[in-house]
């Protein structure tokens, strides 16, 4: 039986790279997007051109009923769900004194409530032995200026990861988080991150920027047969940035 993976926010960037990589590993893939149907179709077309299965499903992960429908459509198309990758997210960088309440609420709506909504469905709908990978961030450990709200949202994702891993032991489902460092492709980031890109390569021992494919490689490991004994962990994929 072919395994099925839902990747949220996968019409571009890291999510797209994860969708393409998991399809090449034999998964039927659900490409989730919130607004850009054309980009989502390109990802589906690319996967299908390689002879693999994929569909695109529009859903806003911050809305509970959208997430219910996302799982419904995945099950209708492929018969069930084995893997959930929580990639959808936003990164809004401002000093805490300048952060508008609306931007705080938007960050938590997508990064935290979105993860909660998908985990809630996954808890009852993922098949036995499934895998969940949440996207966190290496910046949580760095405490860099302007990251306070973003880091708080990703720290919440880390906490959900550890706790839900314990809750889902009855279904033999692993739950982990991947925490990328600075990389060349960041979806949902604002201009402040992009303006600082030139600073990041010198901050890592490997003296470079990661790529979306670097993150996808690790997600593929965690969702594959060799990653089955890793559980409840937040693992940094950041070139050694401390």
Pairing state between β 28-33 and 4-7: parallel
Point out the catalytic residue in the list 10, 11, 136, 139: 136
Point out the catalytic residue in the list 3, 153, 154, 193: 154
- Phi and psi angles of residue 115, each rounded to the nearest 5 degrees, phi first: -65, -40
Residue 189 burial by Cβ neighbours in a 10 Å radius (0-12, 13-18, 19+)? middle
Residue 32 burial by Cβ neighbours in a 10 Å radius (0-12, 13-18, 19+)? buried
Point out the catalytic residue in the list 150, 153, 193, 237: 150
Point out the catalytic residue in the list 10, 137, 139, 153: 137
Distance CA 205, CA 208 (A): 8
Q: Is 150 a catalytic residue?
A: yes
- DSSP line for 78-121: HS-EEEEEE----B----GGG--HHHHHHHHIIIIIHHHHHHHH
Q: Is 42 a catalytic residue?
A: no
Which alpha helices (H) appear in the chain, and where do they start and end?
Answer: 13-24, 37-49, 64-78, 101-108, 114-125, 148-167, 191-195, 212-223
Cβ proximity of 95 and 142 under 8 Å: no
Cβ proximity of 227 and 174 under 8 Å: yes
Distance CA 109, CA 15 (A): 19
Catalytic residues: 136-137, 150, 154
């Amino acid at each position: 039986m072919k395994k099925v993976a839902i990747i949220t926010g996968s019409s571009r960037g890291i999510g797209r790279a994860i969708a393409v990589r998991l399809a090449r590993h034999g998964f039927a893939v659900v490409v989730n997007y919130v607004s850009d149907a054309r980009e989502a179709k390109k990802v589906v077309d690319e996967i299908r051109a390689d002879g693999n299965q994929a569909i695109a499903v529009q859903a806003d992960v911050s809305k509970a009923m959208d997430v219910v429908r996302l799982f419904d459509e995945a099950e209708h198309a492929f018969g069930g769900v084995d893997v959930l990758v929580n990639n959808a997210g936003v990164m809004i960088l401002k000093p805490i004194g300048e952060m508008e309440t609306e931007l705080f609420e938007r960050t938590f709506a997508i990064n935290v409530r979105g993860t909660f909504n998908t985990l809630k469905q996954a808890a009852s709908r993922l098949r036995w032995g499934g895998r969940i990978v949440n996207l966190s961030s290496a910046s949580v450990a760095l405490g860099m200026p302007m990251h306070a709200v973003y880091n708080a949202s990703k720290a919440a994702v880390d906490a959900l990861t550890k706790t839900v891993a314990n809750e889902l032991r009855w279904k033999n489902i692993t739950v982990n988080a991947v925490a990328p460092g600075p990389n060349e492709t960041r979806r949902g980031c604002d201009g402040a991150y992009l303006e600082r890109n030139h600073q990041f390569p010198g901050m890592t021992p490997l003296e470079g920027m990661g790529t979306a494919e670097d993150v996808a490689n690790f997600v593929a490991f965690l969702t594959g047969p060799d990653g089955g004994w890793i559980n409840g962990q937040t693992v940094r994929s950041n070139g050694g940035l401390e």
